[in-house]
A and B are shown apart, each in its own frame.
Chain A
Amino acid sequence: MKIGVFVCECGENIGKTVDCFKVAEIASHFPGVAHAEAYKYMCSDPGQNLIKKAIEENGLDAVVVGSCSPHMHEKTFRKVCSAMGINPYMVEIANLREHCSWIHDNRDEATAKAVDLVRLLVEKVKYNEPLFPIKVPVTKRALVIGGGISGIQAALDIANAGHQVTLVEKEPSIGGHMSQLSETFPTLDCSQCILTPRMVEVYQHPNIKLLTYSEVENVEGFIGNFKVTIRKKARSIKEDLCNGCGMCIQKCPNKKTAKSEFDEGLTTRTAIYVPFPQAVPNLPVIDRTVCTYYKTGKCKICVKVCGREAIDFEQEDTMITEEIGAIVVATGYKLYTIDKKPKDSLIQGYGEYGYGQYKDVISGLQFERIASASGPTAGEMQRPSDGKEPKKIVFIQCVGSRDESKGFSYCSKICCMYTAKHAMLYKHKVHDGEAYVFYMDIRAGGKNYDEFVRRAIEEDGVNYIRGRVSRIYEQNGKYIVKGEDTLAGLPVEIDADMVVLATAMVAQPESPKLAQILSIPYDKYGFLAELHPKLHPIETSTGGIFLAGSANSPKDIPECVAMASAAAAKTLVLFGSDMLEREPIVAKVDESTCAGCLYCKKVCPYNAIEVKEIRNRAGELIKTIAYVNTGLCQGCGTCNATCPSKSVQLLGFRDDQIFAQLFAFADN
């Protein structure tokens, strides 16, 4: 093998502390090295040409470049060599900048170390083998999990590009939290007015298969080739027969037992119900936990009034299997309920605010419903306890957010804005009312956001008090809010008629379970983790699975929509080709030596190890062994280290390649 060594001075970055020409001179005497030289800027055009020329003149088979971190220019140099017919995996980068010249002062020491670093990789590259991208076919159908604004946007974008989409929503209707909102900041346009047309578009789109009241049960396979099992929960309604007339709902005698999820528990709903009037699909569902028939075996009034025999009490959950190429996860958030400490929660809770105890201490979403024209009060500003118009109202921000001691350390991001919106909406409806906002900081970064907050303060006269509320208690029909104005340095006490808590956005409680099904990581709060916070905010560590919306972290609507479109774009990039090329750094099993203990299968984070049976010509089973699904393997090598007989090797980082570096380290 003829190896070329190219040492880059990186201007002065390396050259100042490392004598690059000396490194090249020494390297030229290493066994196997056919050519070695140094140059000012190896990554520049002249530098690249110099490498190309050397490859051609010396007939090199492998290249070691001593330069900056491989994370910087590994791809660059691989491309250069590839253009000259050297397999890109025959190129190794010795990190002479970040790991040498920048961290040492002494030129002799740094030069000696640089020689070592180059020697280690010269030895490694001798054991490298050409690797070729793994090609896998792509199924051009996307799965979108979650039918909130993020899921809707992603589904529409992908569908409009001409690809099939399956949209799965666990609730009976799509729409998500956005459908509950009254108006949206910073424009104060009506949430439902802008959302419902999109919901209908989804419903009517020829490329979208909508599965509501359904959940993802299992995901197998890998990028471009997922096999997804979806549980379609029993609605107790024959969807093909129901025409959504609503007679069953009108006649259902069971009107008071269930709290309306849509109205955040401020009203009740019937046992057979449609979550809200604009629901998509406009199909009722029977809540079996409250329905009289399921409890006593009697009633069946809905059956009697249904003219289309669409009620089916015997209906069972069905399993649907879909072949999927890419998955967009848009499962959204939940509001943190603060009445008592949730089980297994990281957080302590805010018992002192009396949420759940005092009817007029409500959450932000409950306020949205009260302010909404479609809400329980038809948009009239009435407090839940007695329906009176609150004349004094207190908003408390950061309830659960940014609170290491009692809540979560993260900022829920949207509360500053929606609290300003709430205060504004209140003032628009109750002109003589007083609105107070307790805040820690105002975070109003965003287009027209700060202007919006200023408007609440300056035009609508909302009183902003910087400080925390220590306690809320009831006294003579009023809620005494005790807090501190930290700017004035004085204690504050307000006798409010109603209190609105801007509670933290938290991850869906099922999100860790879903993450496990999808084999994607999540953070300690349960938010799904992106591959890289800056450069890969949409991708997850599992190829072909993308994130959209607040399933990832608290986000407002425009961000959710943008992220959803980005996830759609990522999906479309994937669908842009028929075959997918993947990094060939994957594990490989030596079938002759594998003893089939399958510890590799146990440790594989990607379920990439499958079991294969080896049979002789007569068809008798000789042994069962491990087999790597290269579509799933991500190349971590945990199997390699675990395998007792080293029958599974991680290509590109095989044992002999590591050992070669260690032997090069030796100095006997």
Chain B
Amino acid sequence: MEENRFEPKIVAFVCNWCTYTGADLAGTSRLKQLPNARLIRVPCTGRIDPIFLIKAFESGADGVLVSGCHPGDCHYNSGNFHARRRWMFFKELLEFVGIDEKRVHFSWVSASEGKKWVDVVNGVIETVRAEGPFQEYEKINKSNMIPIE
């Protein structure tokens, strides 16, 4: 790591069948990536509750990535379609309450898109790095640590 460079903490929620496997392929292909993302494997993007993202921020994430199968590729036929609707609302809501869209990312990465995975994950990390630490959320996380009037 470069000296004094901000290293963002990224949580990536990925579906088991497409993106996790796509990331496996990136590994098998030895495609180098930045080391900031931690993947959390779930069966399907349909399983990803928007609140997971809030929990990720509460746990100190500077940015979040959600990724799954392309529409039509879903291992469970339609899980990602429901997820897509959910995210549309959630992303707008987050923006509306002041969470910069640069901290919340969505992508479709199939099991064959190892290269795309690398581009996505590196892109997210660099975008969040440019944004800097998520100080606003850090502040409300700390709100629990001081007595409130």
Contacts and interface: CB of A to CB of B under 8 A. Distances in A.
B46 A641 contact: yes
B43 A653 contact: yes
Interface centre among A69, A519, A636, A666 (most CB of B within 10 A): A636
B38 A665 contact: yes
Nearest to A116: B38
A116 B36 CA distance: 11
Interface in B55-96: 55-56, 58-61, 72, 74-79, 82-83, 86
Nearest to B142: A668
Contact of B27 (A103, A637, A655): A103
Nearest to B11: A665
Nearest to B121: A103
A340 B32 CA distance: 51
Contacts of A636: 43-44, 46-47, 75-76, 79
Contacts of B104: none
B27 A665 contact: no
Contacts of B25: 98
Interface class of chain B by DSSP: mixed
Contacts of B75: 541, 636
A471 interface: no
Contact of B28 (A98, A606, A667): A98
B59 A662 contact: yes
Interface string A531-571: 00000000001000000000000000000000000000000
B139 interface: no
B49 interface: yes
How many chain A residues sit at the interface, stated as a range, is 35 or more
Contacts of A104: 32-33, 35
B31 interface: yes
B61 to A, nearest CB: 7
A436 interface: no
Contacts of B59: 662-663, 665-666
Interface residues of B, number: 47
A155 interface: no
A43 interface: no
B49 A638 contact: no
B28 A102 contact: yes
A324 B94 CA distance: 49
Contact of B48 (A603, A641, A659, A661): A641
A515 B61 CA distance: 42
B129 interface: no
A117 B86 CA distance: 28
Interface centre among B21, B35, B79, B118 (most CB of A within 10 A): B35
Interface stretch (A106-114, A181-189, A326-334, A494-502): A106-114
A401 interface: no
B21 A637 contact: no
Interface in B91-136: 118
A173 interface: no
B61 A640 contact: no
A605 interface: yes
Contacts of B118: 103
B9 A634 contact: no
Interface of B: 1, 9, 11, 20-21, 23-28, 30-33, 35, 38-44, 46-50, 52, 55-56, 58-61, 72, 74-79, 82-83, 86, 118, 141
18 contacts: A71-B21, A98-B28, A99-B23, A102-B30, A105-B32, A120-B40, A524-B72, A603-B82, A605-B76, A636-B46, A636-B47, A636-B79, A638-B44, A640-B47, A642-B82, A653-B43, A658-B42, A665-B60
Interface of A: 69-71, 95, 97-100, 102-106, 109-110, 112-113, 116-117, 120, 519-521, 523-524, 541, 585, 603, 605-606, 634-638, 640-642, 650, 653, 655, 658-659, 661-663, 665-668
10 interchain residue pairs of minimum CB distance: A98-B27, A638-B46, A637-B47, A636-B76, A666-B59, A636-B44, A641-B49, A102-B27, A605-B77, A98-B24
